[in-house]
Chains A and B, each alone.
Chain A
Amino acid sequence: MEEVTCYIPRTLDEALEILSKDDCTILAGGSDLMVSHKRTIGVDPRFSKSVMIIRNLPEIRKIYTEGGECHIGAASTSSEIAENPLVPWHLRQAASRMGAVALRNSATIAGNIANASPKGDTPGPLYLLDARVKIRSAKESREEPVSDFIVKFREIDLKPGEMITEVVVPLSEDDFDYVFWHKVGTRKANAISKVTVSMALKFEDGGSVVRDFRVSATATGSKTNRSRDVENIIIGKEISEDLIEEVAEAFDGIISPRAMPEFRRETCRRCIRRFLSEAERRRAAGDRRKMIDTYDGYHMPGAPEVR
């Protein structure tokens, strides 16, 4: 097989121009593509079509806030996301626990989304926070919720000529009273998620009625799971043991884990019970600490604190 063409554009415009003429594999960090296309020591990786390297495009490596939303450039690495205080807490948690140091300096947010793995670390928080991807081609620009953009296992809604340029996350964090993020992995670093649960909750001002509740889980189906119908069970009501059970069971109904299904189902149920009961306990006690741990109180050293 012949070696394919490799483009290294210097600007975003140049990149979009190349994409309008040649349908390329877009390579950002390389942490997925260089592994899936590798052959052996000293032998070059083999790609089936042209490749465009966008790792160093300055336009898509910026993180900034605008209009109450956090804009994260497509080629921003996990380290840059984990370290940046502008980025919402759930996403920083996920980014800070991806792989290990060196991998976090390569892996990018757009790559994590485009890889469309059900075990990807960033989609959980991105679904939870109603994040969108900004997509551009030479002629057009469009936006789509991450939850629609990831169609299913390894399939994304990206047409030839298009590339992800930004991930936009609404900054609703201040609207949450309590937050939760828990990744079950076999070790603290270099762990692929066994199951990860992200949650957030807001009470009505000074009251005990739930104004907003959100829950998403990864590695529990062919893509990240979240359902507004499940969350609506408790929104507008006071938290009670019966309602917690109802939410846990309803969430169980929307997930479809393949391997170790009972473990994954039970972990989700327990996380939901823990978070909702602890949120209610803290509210009643006037405890304003935002971050709710699992029972073992496990917290990764170096991971960002809640603002």
Chain B
Amino acid sequence: MEKTISFKLNGRDVSITRNPLSRLLDVLRDDFGMHGVKEGCSEGECGACSILLNGRMVTPCLIPLGAADGQEIMTVEGISATPEGDCVVQAFADGGAVQCGFCIPGMVVAAYSLLKKNPDPTDEDIRLGISGNLCRCTGYDLIVESIKLAARRGRDLWKK
């Protein structure tokens, strides 16, 4: 059974006719070419596919397309096009947060989501904020440092 589902994707109104029980993850990757949305565990545990749904971080591997009807979605593509998102991406690059890179789009979304709510996070806040994003390369330390860097550099951005 197909249905036409409309939502806002990275600020643009879009619609798609597809099985509303398709995973939003597949729809974003296959139909909209959002390949920054990575598939890791497929069960909401690794955070690689993290996106923002109405401003809240969620994992689209757990969300059926139909649940996005009329909602607002931001992927890492949309986030990194904002000044705040760009600040996170630059801080990750400069801070050496990236090794293999597979977890990074999800980490960027988590960092953005955290700093939007809490522009001046402690180490614990940061570790809690990325606690649902698994990284098997870095040991997390440089990711945490890079998020602190993003908080420092973007002080005026985040507090807006």
- List residues of A whose CB falls within 8 A of some B CB: 3-6, 8, 27, 29-31, 34-35, 38, 41-42, 44-45, 47, 51, 53, 55-56, 79, 99-103, 105-106, 188-190, 300-302
* Chain B residues within an 8 Å CB radius of A79: 56
Tell me how far the C-beta of B131 lies from the nearest C-beta in chain A, rounded to whole angstroms. Answer: 3
Query: What are the 3 tightest A-B residue pairs by CB atom distance, in nearest-first order?
Result: A100-B132, A189-B131, A301-B124
Assess the B23–A6 pair: CB atoms within 8 A. Answer: no
Tell me how far the C-beta of A67 lies from the nearest C-beta in chain B, rounded to whole angstroms. Answer: 30
A105: which of B21, B42, B43, B53 is its contact (CB, 8 Å)? Answer: B53
Assess the B44–A106 pair: CB atoms within 8 A. Answer: yes
Q: How far is the CA of A188 from the CA of B124 in the complex (A)?
A: 12
* Chain B residues within an 8 Å CB radius of A105: 53, 56-58
A53: which of B39, B57, B67 is its contact (CB, 8 Å)? Answer: B67
30 A–B contact pairs at CB < 8 A?
A3-B1, A3-B19, A3-B21, A6-B64, A6-B66, A8-B67, A30-B63, A30-B67, A31-B44, A34-B44, A34-B63, A35-B44, A38-B43, A41-B42, A45-B21, A45-B22, A55-B67, A99-B44, A99-B45, A100-B47, A101-B128, A101-B131, A102-B47, A103-B44, A103-B62, A106-B44, A106-B58, A190-B132, A302-B124, A302-B128
* Chain B residues within an 8 Å CB radius of A6: 1, 3, 19-21, 64, 66
Q: How far is the CA of A300 from the CA of B45 in the complex (A)?
A: 19
B19: which of A44, A99, A101 is its contact (CB, 8 Å)? Answer: A44
Tell me how far the C-beta of B82 lies from the nearest C-beta in chain A, rounded to whole angstroms. Answer: 20
Contact digits for B15-53, partner A, Cβ 8 Å, 1 yes 0 no:
000011111001000100000000100111101001001
Assess the A53–B128 pair: CB atoms within 8 A. Answer: no
A34: which of B19, B53, B61, B132 is its contact (CB, 8 Å)? Answer: B61
- Of chain B, the residue at the smallest CB distance from A79 is B56
Assess the A35–B43 pair: CB atoms within 8 A. Answer: yes
Assess the B1–A4 pair: CB atoms within 8 A. Answer: yes
Q: How far is the CA of A189 from the CA of B130 in the complex (A)?
A: 10
Assess the A102–B22 pair: CB atoms within 8 A. Answer: no
* Chain B residues within an 8 Å CB radius of A302: 124-125, 128
Q: How far is the CA of A81 from the CA of B48 in the complex (A)?
A: 25
Tell me how far the C-beta of B153 lies from the nearest C-beta in chain A, rounded to whole angstroms. Answer: 23
Q: Chain A contact residues: over half helix, strand or loop, or mixed?
A: loop
A8: which of B53, B66, B113 is its contact (CB, 8 Å)? Answer: B66
Q: How far is the CA of A288 from the CA of B22 in the complex (A)?
A: 53
Assess the A44–B45 pair: CB atoms within 8 A. Answer: no
Which B42-101 residues sit within 8 Å CB-CB of chain A? 42-45, 47, 50, 53, 56-59, 61-64, 66-67, 69-71
Task: Say yes or no for B129: interface residue by CB 8 A criterion.
Answer: yes
Assess the A8–B3 pair: CB atoms within 8 A. Answer: yes
Assess the B21–A301 pair: CB atoms within 8 A. Answer: no
- Of chain B, the residue at the smallest CB distance from A301 is B124
B30: which of A3, A35, A42, A100 is its contact (CB, 8 Å)? Answer: A42
Q: How far is the CA of A103 from the CA of B133 in the complex (A)?
A: 11
Assess the B131–A51 pair: CB atoms within 8 A. Answer: no
Tell me how far the C-beta of A25 lies from the nearest C-beta in chain B, rounded to whole angstroms. Answer: 10
* Chain B residues within an 8 Å CB radius of A99: 44-45, 132
* Chain B residues within an 8 Å CB radius of A5: 1
- Of chain B, the residue at the smallest CB distance from A54 is B67
